Amino acid sequence: MRRLHALGIRTSLITGDNQQAARHFARAAGIEEVHARVLPAGKADLIRQLQQGARVAMVGDGINDAPALMQADVGIAFGSGADIAIESADVIVLNQRLGAVLEAYAVSRNSYRKIVQNVSLAFLFNGIGIPAAATGLIYPIWGMVAMAASVTAIFINSLWGRGDYFFEAIRAVGRVPQMPSRATAS
């Protein structure tokens, strides 16, 4: 919670539990805003109210969290949670560490930044090279070079600082990925 607060992220505890238990756990976790004895539809309503002032992420794993997970801008569930919560969420954390939510946040911010950079690179190369070739300002072959340079620049930018992804992908060619198993009850 301290790391979330350091990033400027406001936290709230919304639970169906009683007020005393909710306040105890919120105090232990460093959460100031507490909403207790909230029914599932009430959780979704609270998320809707919070969305009036900001984007809202909801972390939950129970059946009662499903409506709020769907209402939130980003719903985050744990893989060990109820199936309906997992189906309702946008992001599923496969381990039990709450810190994984911060890791998912960091990955999403980095991914968004890379997407913006790559779109900008594509417009820069293709937005100049292709029209210049089409209007006869440069030979068409240079338009093709601009397009190839665009793809190469985007590829390199995507892997910048993450070369291990590239080499792991090469090593994985031909291997069947191992999927995590999940026990089900009949």
Last residue of some domain: 101, 125, 158? Answer: 101
User: pLDDT tens digit string along 37-74?
Assistant: 999 899 999 999 999 999 999 999 999 999 999 999 99
- The reply to whether 134 and 159 lie within a common domain is yes
Q: Report yes or no: 12 and 35 within 8 Å, Cβ to Cβ.
A: yes
What does the pLDDT average to over 94-105? Answer: 86
Give how far the C-alpha of residue 104 lies from the chain's centroid of Cα atoms, to the nearest Å: 5
Q: pTM here?
A: 0.69
- The reply to whether 41 and 87 lie within a common domain is yes
Bridge partners (DSSP) of residue 59 are 76
Question: Could you give the CA distance from residue 4 to residue 29 in angstroms, rounded to a whole number?
Answer: 11
Last residue of some domain: 38, 67, 101? Answer: 101
- The reply to whether 16 and 82 lie within a common domain is yes
Q: Which of 25-34, 123-132, 135-144, 155-164 is predicted most confidently?
A: 25-34
- The reply to whether 155 and 94 lie within a common domain is no
- The reply to whether 83 and 14 lie within a common domain is yes
- The reply to whether 65 and 120 lie within a common domain is no
Pair type for strands 74-78 and 33-35: unpaired
- The reply to whether 97 and 118 lie within a common domain is no
The domain containing residue 142 runs over which residues? 110-172
- Asked if the structure places residue 182 within a domain, the reply is no
Amino acid at 80: S
Question: Could you give the CA distance from residue 78 to residue 147 in angstroms, rounded to a whole number?
Answer: 42
Which region holds residue 18: left if phi is over 0, alpha if psi is between -120 and 50, else beta?
beta
The token duo for 34 is 């507490």
- The reply to whether 51 and 140 lie within a common domain is no
- Asked if the structure places residue 37 within a domain, the reply is yes
pLDDT at 186: 42
User: Looking at the 3D structure of the chain, how many domains does it have?
Assistant: 2
Question: Could you give the CA distance from residue 119 to residue 115 in angstroms, rounded to a whole number?
Answer: 6
177: exposed, middle or buried (Cβ count in 10 Å: 0-12, 13-18, 19+): exposed
Last residue of some domain: 39, 72, 101? Answer: 101
Q: What is the CATH number of the domain that holds 61?
A: 3.40.50.1000
- Taking the CA atoms of 137, 140, 141 and 144 in sequence, report the sign of the dihedral they define: positive
- The reply to whether 48 and 133 lie within a common domain is no
- Asked if the structure places residue 168 within a domain, the reply is yes
- Asked if the structure places residue 177 within a domain, the reply is no
